[in-house]
Chains A and B, each alone.
Chain A
Amino acid sequence: MDSIISAASVIAAGLSVGLAAIGPGIGQGNAAGQAVEGIARQPEAENKIRGTLLLSLAFMEALTIYGLVVALSLLFANPFTS
């Protein structure tokens, strides 16, 4: 394997996960903060809020996972090496 290609792939893999983690991180923080606020206002709604929060957190996490899939395909199934 060409060493330039492997170096570039490894750097790109790191960047793709790292950059993909920024947005969902901010989003998850916002969502969790709002959920805590909601629970503080209405403690009796805690169960409902928790369920919705977990579901939406998993949706946001999926965005990072797309970056991870790109990183994994660069590391383990690199299309540029033959």
Chain B
Amino acid sequence: MDIKVNVRETQGDTYVVDLNGEIDVYTSPKVKDAIGDLIDKGHYNLVINLEKVRYIDSTGLGVLIGGLKRVREHGGTVNLVCTNPQIKKIFDITGLVKIFGIYDDEDAAMKALV
């Protein structure tokens, strides 16, 4: 079980973090480091693409929440791309749909940052 993390710069000062795999108590530190590095470098508008994430648990959710808290302190935000119904269900029952912008595709997530 692993998670692949790819960071891409797009237009403006927006970065996209592509995640591929499973995010759990073992793999979430890798995701936390990638998001933390971007924030440490002053990038506060992020899109995290979960389209290729097959599984996420509370530690993964915690990493996303932690990233959102940090960017909000600087006036930024984190938008998510997610189409997996099981993962969307987890965001729904935890109430995280009210906190994150969750979009069906990357273009919509990018436009919502502006």
Instruction: Tell me if chain B binds chain A.
Output: no
- Which B residues fall within an 8 A CB radius of A? none
- Which A residues fall within an 8 A CB radius of B? none
